[in-house]
């Protein structure tokens, strides 16, 4: 299948949203970038040593337990067949920061390629902080 990003202005919900599109003789499948971001975020927070995803200064930490707003710490860029993912994480104290980052990279690539079928070219991990294990958010 051939994957590419499309922009659609025909549907109000689709305005300014990028999609990964695969097509064959039976039709096409359009996957919104936000869906891919949720897949990446979910894979990232499932890695041991990841406390949560970091959004930006002044915003709350994305909850690992409720998964509400989980994709807020993920930025996705899709151009043609090139999928680039930036994941902003907070690591639990007691874990090797570089090892956790490497495991998050592997998990994100595996999850996106398995769920969507698109090739992930780059996964950039941004370690934005560390936190104690016992203080996970309750939201």
CA angle 86, 123, 111 (to 5 degrees): 105
Give the pairing of strands 82-92 and 120-131: parallel
Q: Which residue has the higher pLDDT, 45 or 83?
A: 45
Q: Tell me: pLDDT of 81 over 90.
A: no
Angstrom distance (rounded) from CA 67 to CA 90: 15
In whole numbers, what is the pLDDT of the chain averaged over residues? Answer: 79
Q: pLDDT digits over 100-132, tens only? A: 999 999 999 999 999 988 889 999 999 999 998
Question: Does pTM top 0.95 for this prediction?
Answer: no
Delineate the domains of the chain, giving CATH numbers in brackets: 32-135 (3.30.70.1350)
Backbone angles phi, psi at 49, to 5 degrees: 100, -10
Greater pLDDT, 18 or 24:
24
CB-side neighbour CA atoms (13 Å) of 28: 13
pLDDT at 136 over 80: no
Strands (DSSP E) contained in the chain are 2-7, 18-24, 27-32, 50-53, 74-79, 82-92, 120-131
């Amino acid at each position: 299948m051939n994957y590419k990003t499309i922009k659609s202005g025909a549907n109000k919900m689709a305005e300014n949203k990028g999609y990964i599109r695969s097509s064959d003789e039976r039709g096409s499948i359009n996957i919104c970038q936000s869906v891919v971001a949720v897949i990446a975020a979910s894979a990232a927070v499932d890695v041991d040593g990841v406390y949560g995803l970091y959004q930006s200064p002044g915003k709350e930490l994305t909850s690992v337990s409720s998964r509400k707003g989980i994709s807020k710490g993920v930025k996705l860029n899709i151009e043609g067949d090139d999928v680039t993912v930036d994941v902003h994480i907070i690591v639990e104290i007691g874990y090797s920061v570089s090892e956790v980052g490497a495991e998050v990279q592997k998990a994100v690539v595996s999850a996106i390629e398995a769920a969507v079928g698109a090739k992930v070219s780059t996964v950039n991990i941004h370690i934005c902080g560390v936190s104690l294990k016992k203080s996970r958010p309750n939201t």
